[in-house]
Amino acid sequence: MKTTAAKPTPQQAAYDAWHDEQVRLGLEDIEAGNVISHEDAIRQMDAFMKKLEKKHRVKAA
């Protein structure tokens, strides 16, 4: 039995094209050496999350 894939919607096709471009750009960054260590990424995310927590902290009544 032969199955055929459903034709993607215009929205799905646009997303797929965007995704493919982002992957391509990411691979180019890696090849160019535009990377950070895992430890640096964790530090950056921790600082970002603390900033968000401070910004959106609910004050006690």
**pLDDT score, position 17:** 99
CA distance 36 to 55: 26
Mean pLDDT of 9-23: 98
Q: Chain centroid to CA 55: how far?
A: 22
**pLDDT score, position 58:** 79
3-state secondary structure 11-53: HHHHHHHHHHHHHHHHHHHHHHCCCCCHHHHHHHHHHHHHHHH
The angle subtended at Cα 48 by Cα 45 and Cα 51, nearest 5°, is 150
Model pTM above 0.85: no
pLDDT confidence band for 61 (50 / 70 / 90): low
